[in-house]
């Protein structure tokens, strides 16, 4: 009889805390860097730096023997994800960090809808209610008619939709090829997809901007790695609630570092969205259906 190690949930929570800190550092670096570089160029440089971390995956890529269909799906996902990354970089330097973080949690809501529409997932009544609450949370944050909905807000709303499409394609491909191949192909095709946008509006980056984008690549890669360690150590029902701390950290970072005022409506809307995501994640864990992303991935 195998005895479960009681420390494993604690290990999972620890690694998810580290993941949240890495992703918050990504947003802080992008926000601090500022809007001088066009979002397409900034995103391209970030992913170009990130290609260095793919070197260990080259062996798996060579032995993957992908079909034409798989190449097509990988390219579709990469180019869609590239558009989402551009929108995320655009929004990050134009609206408060807390709003970007809270609205980023909409992606799992859209994944649930997309899974029902395109992958044949059954959308039970309780999940429909959860989706509705998630969309209500977005409305609380934006408050159309009561505040200005800026281009940054619209970019983040669209980014969540695009990323949801990327996650759905990843779900299909994860059942066919190794996870390392899925991750590597995303990075390669996102870099390729961003190249034309970077070239079309290129501004020579200075040393400070290059340093910041290299830091973004390091912390984003570290965050994805520690998130994998968290999921390996503990079930998603244990690690998922820890991701909610990212909204608190983002709010505190905005107040302390960027002098952004605390908007109680953003916090309230974020809590509603997070509650919706938590319920959907819990239901999928109970049903052993892992379609919704386990945590909101940083887009940087």
Q: Which two tokens stand for residue 190?
A: 């996102």
Q: What is the pLDDT of residue 175?
A: 78
What total of structural domains would you count in the chain?
1
pLDDT surpassing 80 at residue 244: no
Residue with tokens 């009561």: 146
In this predicted structure, the answer to whether residue 236 has a pLDDT above a threshold of 70 is no
Average pLDDT over residues 105-129: 82
The band of 156, judged by pLDDT with boundaries at 50, 70 and 90, is very high
pLDDT, mean of residues 235-251: 78
pLDDT of residue 63: 84
Instruction: Evaluate whether residue 299 is within a structural domain.
Output: no
**Residue 300 covered by a domain:** no
Angle between helix axes 97-104 and 125-142 (nearest 10 degrees) is: 160
User: What pLDDT, on the 0 to 100 scale, is given for residue 274?
Assistant: 84
Locate 52 and state its tokens: 């260095």
| Kind plus residue range of the DSSP H or E element containing 117 | helix 106-118
With contact defined as beta carbons under 8 Å apart, do 208 and 167 qualify?
Answer: no
Full-model pTM: 0.82
On the question of pLDDT at 205 being above 50, the answer is yes
Residue 296 falls inside a structural domain: no
Give the residue among 43, 39, 153 at the shortest CA–CA distance from 96: 153
**Residue 88, domain member (yes or no):** yes
* Phi, psi of 144, deg, nearest 5: -60, 135
Question: Which tokens go with 11?
Answer: 């290990």
Please provide the average confidence, as pLDDT, over all residues in the chain: 85
CA distance 186 to 191: 8
Look-up of token digits 């973080």: 101
Determine the Cα–Cα distance for residues 212 and 203; give it in Å rounded to an integer: 16
For 161-204, the pLDDT digits (tens) are 999 888 888 878 877 888 778 888 888 999 999 999 999 999 99
Please indicate, yes or no, if residue 55 is contained in any of the structural domains. yes
Q: Per residue in 30-74, pLDDT tens?
A: 999 999 999 999 999 999 999 998 888 778 788 888 899 999 999
What is residue 288's predicted lDDT score, i.e. its pLDDT? 57
Q: Name the token pair of 256.
A: 């302390």
- CA 174 – CA 231 distance, rounded (Å): 16
Structural domain span for residue 155: 8-286
Q: Are 239 and 13 in contact, with CB atoms under 8 Å apart?
A: yes
Instruction: Tell me: pLDDT of 294 over 60.
Output: no
Report the C-alpha gap between 100 and 128 in whole angstroms. 24
Domain assignment present for 99: yes
């Amino acid at each position: 009889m195998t005895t479960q190690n009681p420390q494993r949930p604690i290990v999972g929570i620890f690694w998810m805390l580290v993941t949240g800190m890495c992703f918050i550092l990504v947003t802080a670096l992008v926000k601090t860097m500022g809007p001088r570089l066009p979002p397409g160029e900034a995103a391209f440089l970030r992913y170009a730096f990130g290609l260095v971390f793919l070197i260990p995956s080259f062996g798996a890529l060579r032995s993957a023997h992908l079909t034409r269909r798989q190449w097509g799906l990988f390219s579709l996902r990469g180019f869609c994800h590239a558009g989402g990354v551009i929108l995320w970089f655009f929004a990050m330097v134009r609206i408060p960090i807390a709003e970007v973080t809270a609205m980023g949690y909409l992606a799992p809501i859209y994944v649930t809808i997309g899974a029902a529409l395109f992958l044949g997932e059954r959308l039970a009544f309780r999940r429909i209610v959860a989706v509705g609450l998630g969309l209500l949370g977005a409305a609380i944050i934006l408050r159309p008619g009561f505040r200005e909905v800026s281009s940054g807000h619209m970019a983040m709303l669209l980014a969540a939709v695009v990323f949801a499409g990327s996650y759905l394609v990843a779900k299909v491909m994860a059942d066919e090829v190794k996870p390392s191949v899925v991750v590597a192909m995303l990075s390669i095709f996102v870099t390729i997809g961003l190249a034309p946008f970077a070239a079309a509006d290129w501004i020579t980056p200075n040393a400070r901007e290059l340093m910041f984008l290299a830091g973004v690549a390091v912390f984003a890669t570290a965050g994805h790695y520690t998130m994998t360690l968290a999921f390996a150590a503990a079930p998603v029902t244990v690690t998922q609630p820890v991701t909610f701390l990212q909204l608190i950290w983002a709010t505190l970072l905005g107040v302390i570092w960027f002098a952004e005022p605390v908007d109680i409506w953003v916090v309230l809307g974020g809590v509603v969205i997070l509650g919706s995501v938590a319920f959907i994640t819990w239901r999928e864990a109970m049903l052993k259906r892992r379609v919704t992303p386990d945590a909101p991935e940083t887009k940087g």
